[in-house]
A and B are shown apart, each in its own frame.
Chain A
């Protein structure tokens, strides 16, 4: 019964994804956008649909990025297995971090996730396999399922888009599943959910693991695209950026985080060579304007205008 986004939202998204490379948009830029869009959607599952603000999601992005990079480069795994290894690793890490963090709520939850992610950042910096400040470089793209050569940018693009779409549809399914209904109840009124007999911690932990694993899938895919995993992925900036993408696009909307990711990555790419590090200031201004003027985010405001959830 919960109102569902209109099918043409999906039509626009999938249509755009299929034709974008033909429109002459730089494919690497697009692939980066899809990776971050998946990352933001996974984050939104936690914040927008369960009401849990994690400030340490860079941990899952980076754990998967390094695992996938190492698995492909050093162990010589095929890309599909490398991606899987990264995703599983992020999910396991999500279980560990989640088990600790869900014991507290609100700002304390956010601080625990931040502290754990910062510890991991330090660990990555000390370990040799990550390459420290240089990062884990030269990850070969390989051949998917022994058939599809990923050194071809078109092949790789459609793989990345397919991964994004699979993750996006899974999240959509989760939101509207029986499990998603309980998540929504927890977000809306946690004591009431408890008084209805729900062990809310189990639900929070499961959604945390799902969110972490999908964030990991985004990080793993990014490693294959850029042939690189670096400390940037683990830095708290990254945890902040995903909050920004989600808020700008529209918290708790299905399409919002995708739009938010494209806008932020687009601005960063477009402005970086024009204004240099002033891009940080511009991001800050966007964030403030977004929170003050249109709190629902781009898609949230559009949905209100159209009187439909998007």
Chain B
């Protein structure tokens, strides 16, 4: 079957907001086991695309195939349970829960106890070991008991990745994982993504071209809601249309 070669595929994916087409007939194919970057100037429709893929927005047209299955009509929580898990542009943590609890609440779903309102919270302690392992993997072991709201920004992003990993997803969608980070933090997150991408597929929106060049196997360039170019970084970065799209917007921005 050719479908197994691509873990995620969209056909004619379109989203129109009253009169404005944010995503316009996008055919995206993500090969299993790769790191795939989605780039493009501001307003190109990258985040909208993400929201469509995880069904946080309903597409106007088009289909989304994940692992050979049409997921276009599923609910967002159901898509997450199939193994397609997303992160968010702003760091998505549970601020008034401890770092350990953040990861544990993700682990908890598979235990089937989550509706058990009569059960003691100690029932969850069995998950602490696994939660700590995940925290160690992102260098957060020492912060297990810290209230998440007190973590520095870069650490919160790491926690978010640990929480996503707790679901052991087949495919992760990372929305600007290095956004707003200092230099050292960027390096740490890049290493982390490389580490977690082993045996997984990653689709990421990223602005930082160094990160994209460093990590991605394939990249897709979006402009004005449509695919402009696709291929390996070395190839795409020399594409004259891509250069124009970027340089063009930079000139507009400077003007």
Contacts and interface: CB of A to CB of B under 8 A. Distances in A.
A binds B: yes
Interface of A: 1-2, 173-174, 176-182, 184-185, 188-189, 191-200, 202-203, 206-207, 210
A295 to B, nearest CB: 15
A197 to B, nearest CB: 4
A1 B145 contact: yes
Nearest to B107: A196
B20 interface: no
Contacts, number: 118
Nearest to B94: A188
Contacts of B67: none
B167 interface: yes
A192 B145 contact: no
A173 B123 CA distance: 12
Contacts of B54: 195
A303 B111 CA distance: 33
Interface string B63-91: 00000000000011110110001111000
Contacts of B56: 191, 194-195
Q: Which of A185, A194, A196 has the most CB of B within 10 A?
A: A196
A146 to B, nearest CB: 29
B117 interface: yes
Contacts of A177: 116-121, 123
A196 B167 contact: yes
B247 interface: no
Contact of A181 (B86, B101, B145): B101
A195 B100 CA distance: 18
B76 A195 contact: yes
Is chain A's interface secondary structure helix, strand, loop, or mixed overall?
helix
B105 A185 contact: yes
A178 B88 contact: no
Nearest to B160: A192
Contacts of A199: 75, 77-78
A179 B114 contact: yes
Nearest to B163: A196
A202 B114 CA distance: 11
Contacts of B104: 1, 181
B121 A2 contact: yes
19 contacts: A1-B101, A177-B119, A178-B113, A179-B114, A179-B115, A179-B119, A180-B121, A181-B124, A185-B97, A192-B94, A195-B76, A195-B80, A195-B87, A195-B88, A196-B80, A196-B105, A197-B81, A206-B115, A210-B117
Contacts of A191: 56, 88, 92
B85 to A, nearest CB: 6
Nearest to B75: A199
B100 to A, nearest CB: 6
A177 B117 CA distance: 5
Contact of B76 (A173, A182, A194): A194
A189 B94 contact: yes
